[in-house]
Chains A and B, each alone.
Chain A
Amino acid sequence: MTDLLNLVDWSRAQFALTAMYHWLFVPLTIGLSLIVALMETIYVRTGNVKWKNITKFWMTLFGINFACGVATGIILEFEFGTNWSNYSWFVGDIFGAPLAIEGIVAFFMEATFVAVMFFGWNKVSRGFHLASSWLTAIGVSLSALWILVANAWMQSPVGMTFDPAQMRNVMTDFWAVALNPVAINKFLHAVFSGWALAGAFVVAVSCWLLWRRSNIEAMRRSLAIGAWVGAIGLLLTMWTGHGSAVQVARVQPMKLAAMEGLYNGGNGAPLVGVGILRSSDEIAAGGDPMLWSVEIPHGLSLMLDMNTTGYVPGINDIIAGKARGADGTEITTESYAERMVAGAEAKAYLARYNTARANGDSTAAAAYADSVAANFRYFGYGYLDSPEAAVPPVHLTFYSFHIMVAGGALLMLVFLAFILVYWRRRQMLEKPWLHIAGILSLALVYIVSQAGWIVAEVGRQPWVIQDLMPTGAAVSDVPVSSVQTTFWIFAVIFTGLLVAEASIMVKFINSSAKKNIETQN
């Protein structure tokens, strides 16, 4: 069991490493592809060649980043098989379909038209080139759609049933999977956050060149587009983020409780603005989990259903079987201890079903299959040792969530400030402190973006599929030493890749400072 835990931990670490590096590159690809397409549209509509050259400047940065996203993306896809082989079998019937659609619909579109985007300036018409830039941007976003459909399904499994004969889940409703509200919200949240990240990137690079008093007109124009795309993206990210929290309250209440550090809930639950959690041991010993906090009274209840007295269960309440009803009132459901019993029974009935089927006793097999179905909702709890094992790492989830929210709010102020300055006080764009603020916003947006993913993925632990399969049951049968080895190989490659990318970008941006971007690209 210890070995299995080690294997699970290292497999998770490897997947997290890959996903986090991937998520450094992908949102920039998503957002920058849109910004490049917008700039090229201005060029095609106005015929102003300066815009063509500005487009090429940002397209070069897009290209440097694009390759890194591709490199890390392929590993993620294959790691579902190499490191999570049991998972691949258990839900491959449902999960594989979005991945295949992603390849057929999105990746080929991206791969084909990105070549025209980079190399087609002298080979195709202006209209065809512009269409290629937009198709690349659409392809990039479509890639995000299907992988997020798959990810959302893991957080909120719908449109499937368990087939005891094959010992796996099978899809019964494709549209329920594809149009899962969690998936739609997650997709929009991820894409809009990509706009915000790319907006901050454009603002930061523009500010850097403005600070160096280079290409002032081109960078001011770029900065305006970056700030607008960033502000709109971030506003929409906040909107979908709220939608996401409401959905989390419905389908993953434990994650919401961890996000808020809420151990003991109740009616009119407060929203923590800032806070420091006590250590896990201190919390387990009883008392207030918060060492210090600034809270908005009734804020959490209000946020979930515009009702200041609505019930929100805490971690201890959820373990004890308390839940929030559709109308925001407290209801009683199965406690985690009862879910563990149900999960164990589902597994026991499944074993008996197998025996009956092997013996050719179809009547008994049918009866056991019914019993499996009756208990399958909590199948995953049958793998857990204790109810507490179903609680995610609260501290990491709590701090990540609050860093994301606070950082996002600060970033919005930065975008709005730049929009205001560009609109009403353009002479202020010469102020070095404003340039520094723009440059620092790049670090901020990456911290916010990574924190968001940590909330989404750490907050759902221990589940790889909510309530049905814990990570411990999803791994491959690989020696832990093998996973450790590949973890370090990937860590070295990704870090080397990131450093090289950053170095190339800095060099390119600095070399651009010495020339006129509007005429020399």
Chain B
Amino acid sequence: MDNIANLQAYWWLLIAVLGAALVFLLFVQGGQTMLYGKNSVGDRQMMVNALGRKWELTFTTLVVFGGAFFASFPLFYSTSFGGAYWLWMLILLSFVVQAFSYEFRRKKGNLYGTRFYDILLFANGLFGCVLLGVAVGTFFFGGDFTVTRSNLLDAASPVISRWGPLHGLEAMACWKNVILGVAIFFLARTLGALYFTNTISAGSAFTRRMRAITGGNGLVFVVFFVTFLIVLLLQGGYREVDGHMVAENNIYLHNLLNMWWFTVTLLVGTLMVLYGVFRSALSHNWYGGIWWAGIGVFLVVLTLFCIAGYDGTAYLPSTADAASSLTIANSSSSLFTLRTMTYVSFLLPVVLAYIIYVWAKMNASPITEEEIKSEHHLY
């Protein structure tokens, strides 16, 4: 374990775990996009409060995902965040407006009205999901950047990582990235509907509607996800061999074949998602879909991160200069820092344990209109 290659792999795995957890927790964002439509005021109230008790977990996971990337792969942090400026800024903006919208939306004196904050929640749900998908898409389809460390010696122009003139706008215009973004958006909506089905007890009409949304959005998700998978398996990339970047066709297909266990996790994860979604859509009295689909999503996203970064694969391929492409080996923190951070990461099971414990306590009984009426703190 205690050599830099192992620690880099370990930290990439942790990044993958956090990324996978984040995508699962995007059910909050998905749920935010379905507050209106046929829902009554009472339904909406229960939906917002069901989501509102979880939004901070999603938000915190995003923050920790960023912090862990900074600590373990600082060259990615400086290259992608500083380069794809508009992409990350728009992601940030979409999440910033979420943070206060829950707390403010129904408070007297909120100045802009409940509808305004609900629009912000919708915007977070839509743009947050799509843009995060686009950002993850750059892990496979690359970015327009160069890294020249010696720039640091040029006082007039010292920046080592430089991105193309569009600064992330081009990533948003890349159809491959957009396909992943749209897939994540519909996945989030599907998970949101599954979460509502599991958490809210609001009568059969509400549950029927949620099951219909689960099926419809699940179908659209499957179409976009399968398209993304096909594009991904045909995609070329770079692999670092003896310190040099070597172009390779179908690199992710090769990774799945070479690291067969990831093919297994991808297939198992996909089947669990399909089972969770479509059984939930077709059943009248089954409420466990969120857990099947959630674990499935976790496995699929974990797999995608792993095949993006392991086995010398460039996880941020440069479309401008192959040699600048980032791998977990050339972009990581030092051995000392990775080792230190690894000790800290041993706290993660404790963190996970108390999150699960508190989740179970707080979700022990379903949310009902009566429960909402008796609640002191309401969103």
* Measured CA separation A86–B67 after assembly (Å): 16
Q: Which of B32-40, B157-165, B202-210, B282-290 contacts A (4 or more CB under 8 A)?
A: B157-165
Residues of chain A with a CB closer than 8 A to B153's CB: 347, 350-351
Among residues of B, the one whose C-beta sits closest to the C-beta of A478 is B85
User: Hey, which chain B residues are within 8 Å of A496, CB to CB?
Assistant: 112
B167 lies within 8 A of A74 (CB): no
Cβ B110 vs Cβ A500 within 8 A: yes
Instruction: Find out whether the CB atom of A105 lies under 8 angstroms from the CB atom of B344.
Output: yes
Distance in Å: Cβ of B365 to nearest Cβ of chain A: 8
A506 to B108, CA, bound (A): 9
Which residue in chain A gives the minimum CB-CB distance to B165?
A: A479
Q: A111-B60, A489-B93, A507-B108 are in contact. Are A92 and B358 (CB under 8 A)?
A: no
Question: Is A482 interfacial (CB 8 A cutoff)?
Answer: yes
Are the C-beta atoms of A479 and B167 separated by less than 8 Å? Answer: yes
Task: Indicate if B19 sits at the interface (CB-CB under 8 A).
Answer: no
* A85 x B92 contact (CB < 8 A): no
| Residues 114-158 of chain B, each 1 if its beta carbon lies under 8 Å from chain A, else 0 | 000000000000000000000000000000000001101101111
Does A180 count as interface, using CB distance less than 8 angstroms? no
Whether A239 is near chain B, meaning CB under 8 Å from some CB there, is: no
Most buried by A among B54, B70, B341, B354: B70
Task: Decide: B334 and A163 in contact? CB cutoff 8 A.
Answer: yes
Given contacts A81-B80, A81-B81, A507-B107, contact A56 B376 (CB under 8 A): yes
8 A Cβ contacts from A131-177 to B: 163, 166-168, 170-172, 174
Q: With a CB–CB cut-off of 8 A, which chain B residues contact A80?
A: 70, 77, 81
User: Which chain A residue lies CB-closest to B163?
Assistant: A477
Contact B99–A74 (Cβ < 8 Å):
yes
Residue A476 at the chain B interface, CB threshold 8 Å: yes
Q: Is there an interface contact between B362 and A81, defined as CB atoms closer than 8 Å?
A: no
A493, B97: Cβ atoms closer than 8 Å? yes
Contact A504 B108 (CB under 8 A): yes
Interface size class of chain A, counting residues whose CB lies under 8 Å from the partner chain: 35 or more
**One of A119-127, A181-189, A243-251 contacting the partner:** A119-127
Verify B160–A112 contact, CB threshold 8 A: no
CB distance from B15 to the nearest CB of A (A): 11
B347 interface hit (Cβ, 8 Å): yes
- Given known pairs A115-B56, A167-B152, the reply for A96 and B67 (CB within 8 Å) is yes
Q: Which residues, 362 to 379 on B, are CB-close (under 8 Å) to A? A: 362, 364, 371, 374-377
Query: Interface on chain A toward B: helix, strand, loop, or mixed SS?
Result: helix
CB < 8 Å neighbour of A506 from B57, B74, B100, B109: B109
> Quick one: CB contact mask for A373-393 with B, threshold 8 Å, 1 for yes?
000000000110000000000
Shortest C-beta distance, B224 to chain A (Å), equals 27
Given contacts A489-B93, A508-B108, contact A351 B150 (CB under 8 A): yes
A106 vs chain B, min Cβ distance (A): 10
- Tell me which residues across on chain A come within 8 A of B376, comparing CB atoms: 56, 121, 521
- Chain A residues near B86: list those with CB within 8 A: 482
Of the candidates B92, B100, B355, B374, the one whose C-beta lies within 8 Å of that of A108 is B355
The answer to whether A67 touches B100 (Cβ under 8 A) is yes
Q: Is there a chain A Cβ closer than 8 Å to B325's Cβ?
A: no
Residue A71 interfacial (CB < 8 Å): yes
**Given A100-B64, A497-B100, A92 and B78 contact (CB-CB distance below 8 Å):** yes
A67 and B78 in contact (CB under 8 A), knowing A77-B66, A107-B60? no
Chain A nearest CB: distance from B132 CB in Å? 13
**Known contacts A4-B156, A82-B82, A82-B85: does B71 contact A119 (CB below 8 Å)?**
no
B64-108 CB contact bits vs A (8 Å, 1 = yes)? 101110111011011111110110110011011101101110011
- The answer to whether A499 has its CB under 8 Å from any CB of chain B is yes
Does residue A78 face the partner (Cβ distance < 8 Å to B)? yes
Q: CA A503 – CA B104 in complex, angstroms?
A: 10
Q: Which residues of B contact A503 (CB under 8 A)?
A: 109-111
A494 to B57, CA, bound (A): 23
Query: Does any Cβ of A come within 8 Å of B348's Cβ?
Result: yes
Chain B 309-355 residues near chain A, CB threshold 8 A: 333-334, 336-337, 340-341, 344-345, 347-348, 351, 354-355
List A472-521 residues whose CB lies under 8 Å from chain B: 472-473, 475-479, 482, 486, 489, 493, 496-497, 499-501, 503-508, 511, 521
Q: Which 10 A-B pairs have the closest CB atoms?
A: A85-B82, A92-B74, A81-B81, A507-B109, A103-B64, A476-B82, A96-B71, A71-B99, A100-B71, A96-B70
**6 sample A-B contacts, Cβ–Cβ < 8 Å, listed by A number:** A68-B99, A78-B66, A81-B80, A104-B351, A113-B358, A167-B152
Interface residues of B (CB under 8 A from A): 53-54, 56-57, 59-60, 62-64, 66-68, 70-72, 74-75, 77-83, 85-86, 88-89, 92-93, 95-97, 99-100, 102-104, 107-112, 149-150, 152-153, 155-163, 165, 167, 333-334, 336-337, 340-341, 344-345, 347-348, 351, 354-355, 358, 361-362, 364, 371, 374-377
